[in-house]
Every structure is written in structure tokens, then in C-alpha cells.
Amino acid sequence: MINGAGTKVNRALAGIMVVMVLFVVLFSAIFIVSHVDHDCTGENCPICACIQQCENILHGAGGSTLFAVVAFVPVFLIFGSYIISYCIVFSDTLVSAKVRMNN
């Protein structure tokens, strides 16, 4: 079963890498949107350099922020529905309320 453990580790690492890439893409897009109207100091503006790096990241990851939106919306919907169903369905059970079941 060593092979099975190796594939689980590889899947976990791949999942972590996917989440990291999505966060980098999302935060790059957020940085660009938040710093579009900054006070530029001229040719060697550090904010313009950061915006350029973020644009390069976005072009390398798919070319637009649509990639981040398409990737995160299903994740948020799944986790949101899981949290809502857990809170509604599983939190109030007869056992958790310590109801005595008599015949």
C-alpha cells in the first residue's frame, strides 16, 4: 500500500498548488483593480512596476480574471451549501438535544 499513500500525497500537493495559484491570480487581479488610479511618480514608479508584474501573472495564468471567477465561484457555492446544510440539518438532532426516546 505504499503506492496508495504516495498517490494521496501527490493529490494533496496538487490540490495545495491549485489553491496557491488561484490565490495568486485572485490577489493579482485585486491589486490591479485597487491601484488603477494611483498617483504615479514617473518613470520609476514602484506601483506601476507591481501592476506590470500582476498583469504578467494574469496573462500567464489564462489572460483574464475570468479564470479566477470561474475557479472560485463553484468552490464558494459548494462550501456555502455544505456549511448551510451542516448548520441546519446536523446541528439540531434528537441526540444532540438529549431527547429521551420512550416507546
pTM for this entry: 0.49
Higher-confidence residue of 87 and 99: namely 99
Q: How far apart are CA 86 and CA 33, in angstroms?
A: 35
Q: Where are the domains of the chain?
A: 2-70
Q: What is the pLDDT of residues 6-62, one digit of tens each?
A: 677 788 888 888 788 778 878 888 888 888 888 888 888 888 888 888 888 777 765
Torsion, Cα of 71, 77, 83, 85 (10° steps): -140
Angle at 32 (CA atoms; ends 29, 34), nearest 5 degrees: 105
